[in-house]
Structure 1
Amino acid sequence: MKLSILLVEDNTTLAGTIVDFFTTEGHVVDFAPSAELALKLLENQVFDIAILDLTLPGMNGLELCHIIKTQPVMTMPVLLLTARDSVDDIVTGFNSGADDYLTKPFAMEELYVRIIALSRRNALHQNHIIDLGPLVVDRRRHKLLREGVEVKCTRMGFNIVKILAEAYPRVVSRTELIQKLWGNDETESDSLRSHMYQLRNCLDKRFSFQILKTVHSVGFTLENVTVNKA
């Protein structure tokens, strides 16, 4: 599958390396050294995925990511490149709408694997079935299958799994999850904890390995699953 990739990176040496690597793999990469130039490209082109450097001259990568993610016509996933690896920076990146992040320095092979995984996950959004190997989410019928067995859980539990499956492989922050589940409605601080406890009991307890994972001080994600092509 040939991807059309938007690369926004002010380090021309690194950008050249990324362009060469992905071009060799058969993909098309458009390069912009600033967020402002990237926005001009986005006015006339449709991309499958965007790779954004966090630190850019002028508008930074977080601001650009937020603009991309708040435009209904832009459905592409975004991966952030950052030299910052603190929990706060990671959470800020995810809260801006980023789908994944990679800390510099990194291996080109790892960037490539992450980009392919994000593009496959994004393709799954076009289908009401999200097939993650041992976990299948049927968004139309509101059903969960774990290793072929239907898992009975609450409506809130289903919604949590659906959000995590749609976001996989990235971590969904606690703030983002609460926003998607309850919107602007006030909720007690223990509500999410209670729902996660119930969900673990129905989704993981009777199986040989767990799927629901808590990432300390960051949020939640899924593990031991694999994105299957639609």
Structure 2
Amino acid sequence: MRILIVEDHPDILANLYGFLEPKGHVLDSARNGYAGLALASENQYDVIVLDIGLPGLNGIELCQKLREELSIATPVLMLTARDSLSDKVAGFDSGADDYLIKPFSLVELDVRLKALVRRAEGQHAVSHKLRFGDLSFDPDTQEASREGRPVVLTRTGYILLRTLMQAAPRIVPRETLEQAVWGEDRPDSDALRTHIHALRQALDKPYEHAMLRTVAGVGFRLVLPDAGS
């Protein structure tokens, strides 16, 4: 299995690596919620192990973003010291598939992860393709097209396109786009301007009508070709 572990406690993380890697599992890890979100958006995993008490973006918020914003259906097992019924309900409501209370048995964790992966493999994949007019984007395959013609972008370009399409035709503030690409580690320079220019060249240059609009002093939005400013 390829497993993403989002856990900020170094001892727990070390124990997970020490137990799971010798079993042949391939592990990636993040120590905060935003780093976990970035890894989950960039890579394909069989299962995600997610702590609730994370810095920056907690596990509940991270799981919600995985499900609602990124449309990632990868099974999620939450690790947490919070054992009240309300905590469990919040975890499942956010999109988690299983819940394990700290301290936990590593053997039980491994068994639960395998069960989640088997269950996911037995389900038909659900298409989460985004569409806005003649523009479409599949977050799972990173394939975009307009009027049936491929739109080829960089990794950052696909993140920007996904964020804009999820909100379309609403305005997406600059800060939201920067957060989607860089999290809390935003560059000092106006890097967003460069990436937006590249997105506009790929998305609009071959066509008569532009879909990507700048809203001065606020952000950016996608509009349908027959829509006004």
Q: In the TM superposition, what is the alpha-carbon distance from 1:73 to its structure 2 partner?
A: 4.5
> Matched residue of 2:104: which SS?
coil
Q: In the TM superposition, what is the alpha-carbon distance from 1:44 to its structure 2 partner?
A: 2.0
Q: Unpaired runs of 5+ in structure 2?
A: 126-229
Would the aligned equivalents of 2:2 and 2:26 in 1 still touch at CA under 8 Å?
Answer: yes
Q: Flag the structure with more relative contact order, 1 or 2, with Cα contacts below 8 A and sequence separation at least 6.
A: 1
Q: Which has the larger radius of gyration?
A: 2
Q: In the TM superposition, what is the alpha-carbon distance from 1:42 to its structure 2 partner?
A: 2.3
The match for 2:36 is 38
Would the aligned equivalents of 2:6 and 2:31 in 1 still touch at CA under 8 Å?
Answer: yes
**Partner AA of 1:121 in structure 2:** R
1:38-88 deviations in Å (ceiling 9; x for gaps) = 122123211111000010111100000111112465220100001011111
1:99 aligned onto 2:89: no
**Partner AA of 2:16 in structure 1:** I
The match for 1:197 is none
Distance 1:72 1:61, change over 3 A: closer
| Number of corresponding residues | 126
> Matched residue of 2:95: which SS?
coil
4+ long deviations beyond 3 Å: none
The match for 1:202 is none
Instruction: Choose from 47, 56, 59 the match for 2:57.
Output: 59
The match for 1:159 is none
1:98-136 deviations in Å (ceiling 9; x for gaps) = 000000000100110100000000001138xxxxxxxxx
**Partner AA of 1:112 in structure 2:** D
The match for 1:75 is 73
**Partner AA of 1:92 in structure 2:** A
Measure, in 2, the Cα distance between the counterparts of 1:43 and 1:79.
17
Instruction: Choose from 106, 115, 118 the match for 2:116.
Output: 118
Measure, in 1, the Cα distance between the counterparts of 2:41 and 2:123.
23
Would the aligned equivalents of 2:41 and 2:70 in 1 still touch at CA under 8 Å?
Answer: no
Measure, in 1, the Cα distance between the counterparts of 2:123 and 2:99.
20
**Partner AA of 1:86 in structure 2:** S
TM-score when scaled to structure 2? 0.53
The match for 2:5 is 7
Q: In the TM superposition, what is the alpha-carbon distance from 1:29 to its structure 2 partner?
A: 0.6
The match for 1:49 is 47
> Matched residue of 1:85: which SS?
coil
Q: In the TM superposition, what is the alpha-carbon distance from 1:21 to its structure 2 partner?
A: 1.1
Distance 1:40 1:72, change over 3 A: closer
Measure, in 1, the Cα distance between the counterparts of 2:27 and 2:94.
23
Q: In the TM superposition, what is the alpha-carbon distance from 1:20 to its structure 2 partner?
A: 1.8
Q: In the TM superposition, what is the alpha-carbon distance from 1:9 to its structure 2 partner?
A: 0.2
**Partner AA of 1:67 in structure 2:** K
Q: Unpaired runs of 5+ in structure 1?
A: 128-230
Q: Aligned-pair RMSD on alpha carbons?
A: 1.6
Measure, in 2, the Cα distance between the counterparts of 1:99 and 1:44.
21
